[in-house]
Structure 1
Amino acid sequence: MPGRPGLELADIFRRHGPAWRRANAGHVSLTQLKVMSAIEACRTEVLGGHVAACGKCGHRHIAYNSCKNRHCPKCQGPAARDWMAARAEDLLPVEYFHEVFTLPAEIAQIAYWNKKAVYSLLFRASAETVATIAADPRHLGARVGMTSVLHTWGSALTHHPHVHMIVPGGGLSPDGTKWIACRPGFFLPVRGLSRLFRRLFLEGLAVLHKVGALQFFGDLKNLAQAGAFATYLAPLRKTEWVIYAKPPFGGPEAVLAYLSRYTHRVAISNHRLISADAAAVAFRWKDYRIKHGDRQKVMRLETGEFIRRFLIHVLPDGFHRIRHYGLLASAARKATIARIRRLLGEAPQDPDPQESAEVIPLTLREPCPCCGGAMRIIEIFRRGQKPPSRAPPREQAA
């Protein structure tokens, strides 16, 4: 297992967050403040924890509770593993494709102040685009399914909203009696996807503006007027919107590996952080403008600006950043996947006997670091309580 990073986002928030909050009082949302507090408290005695002991060798350690906040870099690894275990049974023995739908910078400016409305529209428009073109008999002529994951950041923590979409390479015929596979190595035409996505998104954005669902501030304040808004969007109706189609995955296992990296990613991981003090934070980033050679660079941001950039990627409360559409929509996903497997001639999957085995209460998932034996919780301490002194602390999610 990789060691603990020398510097963590939590360290930056603990050392420099209080001064930043005072300097920006009245300009930080309650949701952003909660995220900062959760990350600061994560896996410390503030949240409590437990003492675990090995039944074989007697090794003991203290494990502090995690905050489980979806923006916390330390909590997303376990969350991703649990999510992937649940999704593994949904994978089909077909090619999978990866499409990326990106909003133009001019639209990203609007999204900055209207995250819930515009991000939701990004999800809907991209899913409808793929479903519509796939259903066209000139292309696939089938009903497809997709899993979409929202990312709002670029490598430098800038605001860069885009959706990563994973799509099985085929779909059900309109009558549901057969599986229609796409051509090997090719799913749908990117140019057609780009133009339909542009039209659907701009139409949806116009509706949001008409019903008063958008807010405008600063340099964009005049866009509240219908005429100014139409003028602002006019050039975007003629430009090519970026739809990126990556090569197909090597198989279902590669899909799982990819999803495990993307579904629960946060704006910056602890391993990208290099140094931080009251003046600046240094971190690694990739310069995608460089087409050849080493893209890895080091960026230094003023500490307050670093905190601000991280917090602009905090999602609205209750907003789902992973969504399933079409054949993979939650309501009928299991029944649909079972039918597709039958059409593909794949035998039904037997339940894993290890998964169905009885789980011993209070037994940890991670084995003993000394002998590999089962670790059991022998004592629990609550929020704010001091942990017992007889066991060395170990930073681990509980």
Structure 2
Amino acid sequence: MPQRKARRRACPTKCFGYTADCHTERYGKMLLHCSPCNNQQSFFHACGHRSCHRCQHHDTVKWLERQTQKLLPVDYFMVTFSLPYQLRVLVWHHQKSLYSVLFDCAVSTLKQFGVNDKNLGSEVAMTARQCQNHVTSDTNTIEGFFAHFTKSKKACACLQTLW
């Protein structure tokens, strides 16, 4: 396990190094020279790292705009399903089967909630994601293991009338 932990932490450390040196001499510079006035200006190159807020801000904004255009004209909700800490050891040793059960129960619960709820009274659509990278402590031990599921559900009340 220590090797895995070291490998996992190397990426954020490397990423920080790239972004901290963005627009510095590390990535070289461009020298602009104006012949008529003999003026010179130098600009340092960007790191171009995907996590750099200076390099990727414009691309991120464009991506968010594209994603927003894809949204359906319905209300969106986020629901999180978590397991109690008493089950951590059991889940740690049987992750595949127990996460599958949790997933099935979460989907079933949301579907039943959508049909039975006074306000919704319809079928709910959902996307689901398993978040494995949430660790509550610095150690990668069973005691520090934490996982949850997030359901992002789209409440579609009369699909036929909207589209």
Kept in 2, the 8 Å contact 1:148–1:163? The answer is: yes
Kept in 2, the 8 Å contact 1:98–1:167? The answer is: yes
TM-score calculated relative to the size of structure 2: 0.55
Q: Which residue of 2 aligns with 1:38?
A: 11
Gaps of 5+ in 2: 19-25, 33-39, 139-143
* SS of equivalent residue, structure 1 residue 159: coil
Moved over 6 A (4+): none
Superposition CA RMSD, Å = 4.2
Change beyond 3 A, Cα 1:38–1:135: same
Q: What does 1:212-251 align with in structure 2 at a 5 Å threshold?
A: none
Structure 1 residue 44: Cα displacement: 4.0
Q: What does 1:327-346 align with in structure 2 at a 5 Å threshold?
A: 343-344=161-162
Aligned residues: 139
Tell me: higher relative CO, structure 1 or 2? Use CA pairs within 8 A at least 6 residues apart: 1
Change beyond 3 A, Cα 1:134–1:344: same
Instruction: Write the distance in 1 (CA, Å) between the matches of 2:114 and 2:108.
Output: 10
* SS of equivalent residue, structure 1 residue 64: coil
* Structure number with higher helix proportion: 2
Gaps of 5+ in 1: 1-26, 69-74, 172-177, 180-339, 346-398
Kept in 2, the 8 Å contact 1:145–1:168? The answer is: yes
Kept in 1, the 8 Å contact 2:123–2:155? The answer is: no
Structure 1 residue 103: Cα displacement: 0.7
Q: Which residue of 1 aligns with 2:114?
A: 134
Q: What does 1:1-398 align with in structure 2 at a 5 Å threshold?
A: 27-28=1-2, 30=4, 32-42=5-15, 44=17, 50-51=27-28, 58-64=41-47, 66=49, 75=51, 81=60, 84-135=64-115, 140-151=120-131, 153=134, 158-171=144-157, 178-179=158-159, 343-344=161-162
Q: What per-residue deviation string (whole Å, max 9, x for no partner) do you get for residues 237-261 of structure 1?
A: xxxxxxxxxxxxxxxxxxxxxxxxx
* SS of equivalent residue, structure 2 residue 72: coil
